[in-house]
Chains A and B, each alone.
Chain A
């Protein structure tokens, strides 16, 4: 059990600058997910924490101790790899016990701990098999077993689920979350999948181009994205962005999109907003609902739209329409719209919508 503190971390491969100055604190026992598009430096950051890559600049502390010059084995971390990295020439039991053996633990104790880890993961019947005789899910379980058996201070996961099929991925995701509840050790998890990030994390660290764009609790990032990149990365279907302009009136600000004027609710503060500022209005599908009753609920703006495209998912339907020429996706109830081309009144929730400065793409 330990916290991780990263200060001013850089990683360069020759001319390529993969990590460009990261400051990150991971408190003891927290589940932190590093997420971002491929090439954003998240895996490099994780491998630098593990000691598999050397930091070009900056410090890494684990449990209050600077570990930059420590070998991976001396950092007391465990890592689960994307391709599982099981030793093909060793049985499952030997795979799990390998780390203990490498550290010179006596055999009976290794056997006891391997047995316990296998019981925890439900892979006891597999201990004598070779990795090539296991399914993908079983291999991943063995890889996790190999990590937990050592009882390390930190767990590192490098996209552990991306080689599994969708159903198995959901299942293993739940299991990893349960594992974290059980052993409550600091975990740092890398993924490019925003759903994995949202469901697993105590805290999401969203990266792009070697820098942290925003970090915080999943819902905090989801509901108050710092910029359009964060807003667009989290959430599926994606947030729709519409060009608009801010106008100041007696009651406060109004968002103007074409000839549509949408007052910003009085309770919302817009940092650094000015009259006539060009903005992007960010609407998530769930910010749009089919109107009910005579008047829109407080903080909402009613507008009639023509549905272009309808994608039913069963419980919900995704309806695409245009607002001032820009496509917008709304998540409606299954029977709100019966066919494309229909005109329906939509309530736009301005209380929850995001507003970004168009030039800097930062949230107001």
Chain B
């Protein structure tokens, strides 16, 4: 008798938990995917279907005209290329300098305890407070509306976060690995490149993702510092809200296009992150 009760409890538990779990996951899934789906469907709908009632869940005649409009008429393609140039360059620079600085802070305690905090404190500043000074400086230096200008600004703004992410990473890395390399025949510099950096790859990847996303989605600085040449993808969206009304189709098409690099990056980096997590110092 007791065993049947136990069995029944066990069986009902087995049956119940997955149901709730599946329901919960499905809800989360919907929450994330529904807007994405709607954006995608809107991007391929003929304009007449946008506000149709009942809503059109999938168009009878899918079209690419909105992509054409977004990329060429609204010059979204240029924005995409500019965004790629600026975001990738800023990410590379930010991670490069971030890694060097974080290593120096973690290993040599450069600047004592205050420098590392000062670096982070740069993030406390509201960006709007410095955008005008930067604009004026850039005008004097001829950096307005150039890739270099925007790369420079993005590198500086993302540096505190990449420094801090890498700082935490280097600090938990056992010193003995680099010391072994020093005794083995490395200089400080080669022990850094051959031992510390390869082991910090997961941290560098995490910092790179963070930096890239921050640059890719940045709107405010791009709006102020660029106009006709170096404008980035987010600033293109501005044009879809015009006196002619909202350009739903083009906006959706460009949104989908802007997702592609992030998805590619995510897929590439995911493998690396998993590989990176299994690395880690060998200890007894």
| Contact A81–B186 (Cβ < 8 Å) | no
Contact assessment for A85 and B174 in the assembled complex, using a CB-CB cutoff below 8 Å: yes
**Chain B neighbourhood of A82, CB < 8 A:** 176
- Given the known A-B contacts A73-B186, A73-B187, are A88 and B181 also in contact in the complex, defined by CB atoms under 8 Å? no
Verify if A136 is at the interface (C-beta below 8 Å from B). yes
A229 at the interface (CB under 8 A from B): no
- Contact residue among A51, A79, A89, A132 (Cβ-Cβ distance under 8 Å from B180): A79
Contact present for B284 and A52 (CB under 8 Å): no
Name A86's closest neighbour in chain B (CB-CB). B282
Whether A89 pairs with B284 at a CB distance below 8 angstroms is no
Annotate B165-190 by CB proximity to A: 1 below 8 A, 0 otherwise. Answer: 00000000010110111111111001
How far does the Cβ of B6 sit from chain A's closest Cβ, in whole Å?
41
* A150 contacts B184, C-beta separation under 8 Å: yes
**Least distance between B277 CB and chain A CB atoms (Å):** 12
A67-105 interface mask toward B, CB cutoff 8 Å, 1 = contact, 0 = none?
Answer: 000011100011101111111110000000011101100
Q: Which residues of chain B are near A86, meaning CB under 8 Å?
A: 180, 282
A363 adjacent to chain B (CB < 8 Å): no
Interface residue A284 (Cβ < 8 Å from any Cβ of B): no
Q: How many pairs of residues, A versus B, come closer than 8 Å at their CB atoms?
A: 87
| Bound complex: CA A3 to CA B195 (Å) | 31
Tell whether, in the assembled complex, residue A98 and residue B184 are in contact, meaning their CB atoms are under 8 Å apart: yes
Task: Given A81-B176, A89-B198, check contact A146 B184 (CB 8 Å).
Answer: yes
Q: Is the CB of B180 within 8 A of A81?
A: yes
Interface footprint category on A: 20 to 34
In angstroms, Cα B186 to Cα A78, docked, is: 12
* B283 CB-CB contact with A under 8 Å: yes
A104, closest chain B residue (CB): B185
Cβ-based interface call for B279 (8 A): yes
Number of interface residues of B (CB under 8 A): 24
B201 to chain A, nearest CB (A): 8
A285 interface residue, CB < 8 Å from B? Answer: no
B183, B198, B279: the one contacting A72 at CB < 8 Å is: B183
> Does chain A have a CB within 8 A of B199?
yes
Task: Choose one: A50, A78, A136; the contact of B284 (CB below 8 Å).
Answer: A136
A83 near B176: Cβ-Cβ < 8 Å: yes
A105-134 interface code vs B (CB 8 A; 1 in, 0 out): 000000000000000000000000001100
Tell me which residues across on chain A come within 8 A of B283, comparing CB atoms.
Answer: 83-84, 163
B271–chain A nearest beta-carbon distance, Å: 16
Interface pair A73/B185, CB less than 8 Å apart: yes
Contact between chains at B190 and A87 (CB < 8 Å):
no
Chain B proximity of A304: nearest CB distance (Å): 50
A81: chain B residues at CB < 8 Å are: 176, 179-180
Is the C-beta of B281 less than 8 angstroms from some C-beta in chain A? Answer: yes
B182-221 residues with Cβ-Cβ distance < 8 A to A are: 182-187, 190, 194-195, 198-199
A52 to B178, CA, bound (A): 10
Residues of B within 8 A of A72 (CB): 179, 182-183
Question: Is the CB of A139 closer than 8 A to any CB of chain B?
Answer: yes
Q: Give CA–CA (A168, B199) in the complex, Å.
A: 29
A163 and B280 contacting across the interface, CB-CB below 8 Å: no
Given A139-B282, A163-B284, A164-B284: A85 touches B177 (CB 8 Å cut-off)? yes
Whether B183 and A102, one on each chain, are in contact in the complex, defined by CB atoms closer than 8 angstroms, is no
Query: Across the interface, do A102 and B198 meet the contact criterion of CB distance under 8 Å?
Result: no
Within 8 A of A (CB), among B2-60: none
- B191 — nearest CB in chain A belongs to which residue? A102
> What residues make up the interface of B, taking CB atoms closer than 8 Å to A?
174, 176-177, 179-187, 190, 194-195, 198-199, 278-284
Q: Which 9 pairs show the lowest CB-CB distances between chains A and B?
A: A163-B284, A99-B184, A102-B185, A85-B180, A85-B176, A72-B182, A131-B282, A103-B185, A73-B185
| A residues with CB within 8 A of B | 50-52, 71-73, 77-79, 81-89, 98-100, 102-103, 131-132, 136, 139, 146, 150, 156, 163-164
Q: Could you list 23 examples of A-B contacts with CB < 8 Å?
A: A50-B179, A71-B187, A73-B182, A73-B183, A78-B184, A83-B281, A83-B283, A87-B195, A88-B177, A88-B199, A88-B279, A89-B198, A89-B199, A98-B194, A102-B181, A102-B190, A102-B194, A131-B282, A139-B284, A150-B185, A156-B183, A163-B284, A164-B284
